[in-house]
Amino acid sequence: MAKRKKSGGQKVAEKARKTAAAKVKSYDKKAKAKPLNKQQKAKKKAAEKTVRDANVYIRAANTARDMSYKELQEARAVEMRQRGTAKGADKFKEGMQARAISDLMRAETGRQKGQGTPYVGPGATVVLDDEGNIQRGPQGRVKYQIDPEAYARRFIPQFTPTQEQLDMGLNIQPGLLTPYQQTNFQWLLGGEGLAPTAGGRIPTDFRQDWRTEQWGDVYDKKTGLWKRADPDKRQAAVAEQLRRYEAGEFNPTVGSVAGDRWTGKGVGVASADQWLPKGWTPPAGSRAAVGAGIQQGAYRRPAPLDWSAIMPTDTPLASQQALVAGKGKLYQPWATRQATPRGLINYQVPGGAGFDVTYSGANPSLFDFNQDTTTTTNGSGTTTVTAPGEPAGWSHPDYATFMGYTQAMHALNQAHDPASASFVDWEQ
């Protein structure tokens, strides 16, 4: 087979090696004129280590570029077994070689780091206040931050969102973490029992317990490797990760090139199963605090509205012209008697008249066309509506027609299906 193209990681490693080698050369030149001070010696030593580490990655990547995909899988498995029993610098080296192979595998499949796996990545610490307490955002999510140096010294390339991800409207940004890593972090830190160290490090036991409980994997202390869960358990975990990802249950700004932000537009949402300390309340003035005050009082059933007066009259986008045509008649079929089954508008929910339909800001004649009643009683009082006559030749569509319309609209919202993407067996 033809030699594979260089991975993003190899390009990062080559650039880092070139920069570090130039620093070493510069310090060597300075040392000839005057002995280096302590700080200069430390910087030279760090640059020399970067050159050595980059050489390890580049050699592994160049060897792997001649392999088939199956050979890549086998080679990575060997490196991971060796990493499992290695210690210190040797462990880091084996991990570097395994990562070089993994980067080529991802380049072929298009899979992103953490996609379909419990991988979160290096360099994460929990944000603590001056008293050592965990800081939480307005929704109660644990705040965490990423050390860029942890990614730089492993030659991990910056993540760039795909066009599909940009179109999701979840504020996914370029940066250190993929949204799957961010999803895993929120999932991990949303559990009960988190007790970070003084430096905010996430305890290994806490990470391992989450992986075992949520993903079903079992850690073997003897080999230093994880035994993968049975297919059903893994499939359920992957499905849950995808649900959280598509729901935006992650902070899309953590690790971004714009910096770590926990307030403002597009900071993601909290998961329903997020654990919160007893007695925790949202910070004053936060969206969560304001929402808690709004969500009071009796339930009010949502009602269809007539938007025809505010619909745009034209659009340059061909894909939207049908929606705005006729003041949005295809977008709100109930307003023009299209694809609306009898009884939809005047449906009586259990609970009596207090839960009846209410509407405002519209032309009442557009709604009560079924002529089932001329009086609507709701929680705000009684509104008398004069039902118009039905147009000549018009008949109510049957249930199948209405459901066909509903299913078609649902299909538009489910156009992409990340679950069908290629999935292979590794953990980064």
Task: Write the DSSP symbol of residue 157.
Answer: P
Query: How many Å separate Cα 402 from the centre of its chain?
Result: 34
Task: Place 283 in a pLDDT band, splitting at 50, 70 and 90.
Answer: confident
Judge whether 303 and 357 are in contact, CB under 8 Å: yes
* Higher pLDDT pick, 113 / 414: 113
Tokens 């001649």 locate to 66
Query: How many Å separate Cα 396 from the centre of its chain?
Result: 43
Q: Tell me: pLDDT of 387 over 50.
A: no
* Higher pLDDT pick, 228 / 303: 228
Task: Place 238 in a pLDDT band, splitting at 50, 70 and 90.
Answer: very high
Element (H, E) at 225: strand 225-227
Q: Is 43 exposed, middle or buried (0-12, 13-18, 19+ CB in 10 A)?
A: middle
Task: Place 405 in a pLDDT band, splitting at 50, 70 and 90.
Answer: low
* Whole-angstrom distance, CA of residue 167 vs CA of residue 162: 9
| DSSP string for 287-325 | HHHHHHHHS-SS---------TTTS-S--S-HHHHHHHH
Task: Write the DSSP symbol of residue 76.
Answer: H
114 Rama class: left (phi>0) / alpha (psi -120 to 50) / beta: left
Task: Place 372 in a pLDDT band, splitting at 50, 70 and 90.
Answer: very low
Q: Is 193 exposed, middle or buried (0-12, 13-18, 19+ CB in 10 A)?
A: exposed
Predicted confidence at residue 54, as pLDDT, reads 97
Predicted confidence at residue 367, as pLDDT, reads 47
Predicted confidence at residue 404, as pLDDT, reads 58
Closest CA to 181 of 259, 122, 107: 122
Average of per-residue pLDDT across 36-46 = 96
Q: Is 181 exposed, middle or buried (0-12, 13-18, 19+ CB in 10 A)?
A: buried
Predicted confidence at residue 424, as pLDDT, reads 37
pLDDT digits (tens, 9 = 90+) for 332-357: 665 555 545 555 555 444 444 444 44
Q: Tell me: pLDDT of 77 over 80.
A: yes
| 77, two tokens | 């498995």
Predicted confidence at residue 377, as pLDDT, reads 43
* Whole-angstrom distance, CA of residue 46 vs CA of residue 184: 32
Predicted confidence at residue 406, as pLDDT, reads 55
* Whole-angstrom distance, CA of residue 287 vs CA of residue 342: 40
Predicted confidence at residue 321, as pLDDT, reads 74
* Whole-angstrom distance, CA of residue 234 vs CA of residue 239: 9
Task: Place 2 in a pLDDT band, splitting at 50, 70 and 90.
Answer: confident
Q: Is 272 exposed, middle or buried (0-12, 13-18, 19+ CB in 10 A)?
A: exposed
Average of per-residue pLDDT across 51-59 = 96
* Higher pLDDT pick, 160 / 298: 160
Cα within 13 Å of Cα(306), Cβ side: 16
Q: What is the largest CA-CA distance in the chain?
A: 100
pLDDT digits (tens, 9 = 90+) for 185-231: 999 999 999 999 989 999 999 999 999 999 999 999 999 999 999 99
Indicate the pairing of strand 124-126 with strand 144-146: antiparallel
Predicted confidence at residue 266, as pLDDT, reads 74
- Cα end-to-end span (Å), the chain: 26
Contacts of 299 (CB under 8 A, 6+ apart): 355
| 106, two tokens | 């991802």
Predicted confidence at residue 285, as pLDDT, reads 64
Q: Tell me: pLDDT of 93 over 60.
A: yes
Q: Domains of the chain: which residue ranges? A: 8-109, 124-275, 318-413
Most confidently predicted of 76-85, 379-388, 415-424:
76-85
Average of per-residue pLDDT across 79-91 = 92
* Higher pLDDT pick, 92 / 382: 92
Average of per-residue pLDDT across 302-323 = 68
Indicate the pairing of strand 218-220 with strand 225-227: antiparallel
Cα within 13 Å of Cα(427), Cβ side: 16
Percent of the chain with pLDDT over 90: 58
